[in-house]
Amino acid sequence: MNVVLLGSPGVGKGTYADILSKKYEIPKISSGDLFHEAIRNRTALGKRVKGYVSRGELVPDEIVIKLVKERLEKDDCKNGFFLDGFPRTINQAEALDKFKKTDKVLNFVASEEEIISRLSGRRTCKKCGAIFHVRNKPPKIEGICDNCGGELYQRTDETPETIKNRLRVYHEKTKPLIDHYRKKGLLAEINANYGYSEIDKVISQCDKALLEVRNS
């Protein structure tokens, strides 16, 4: 079961993907994780990626497609995957079609006000990359990671001004994917306006959409 997750930055795709991955026992593949791994490793590709991410801009298709294709070819993806953050453009969607079939597309939708609140409150661990939130998922000790004791910080792409730019870029360049997948009959819209304590209401919508795939 190959599933694509769509939705604007901060809508919660990563969190939902983690839950779905464990529930259905297929891996979550995040383009964002692939980007940050490349940045942490300070590779030549990582340095290129860092410039785009820090400005809240989309990484060029040629770089993204290469990273994702290599990851999806690994053995753990043979039985399926949840793809978070890719594709983001029609060009990327067409490239994906050439090396992997898409069975379902879950499109998570939340208000802009909710998204800005979620992203501006996020804090990331400098050591292990774990993500916390000052409102929804605060660390036990302020500024300190529960998992490894590393320092928590606000990423440069999660300040209010950069968030607004990311949302603008999303609406201009990524939203056409919704129509693309709707025409293919693969799209399922998921209401993601629920808080962290009500996350089961989001997952139940996903389960209903994925049941259609498993029964087909």
- Active site residues per annotation: 13, 88, 122, 155, 166
Cα–Cα distance between 178 and 198 in angstroms, integer? 25
AA identity, residue 19: I
Helix H segments across the chain? 13-24, 31-40, 44-54, 61-72, 90-99, 112-120, 160-169, 176-183, 199-214
**Tokens encoding 196:** 């962290």
At what angle are helices 160-169 and 112-120 packed, to 10 degrees? 130
Cα–Cα distance between 49 and 167 in angstroms, integer? 19
Cα–Cα distance between 196 and 59 in angstroms, integer? 29
Give SS3 for 100.
Answer: coil
AA identity, residue 179: D
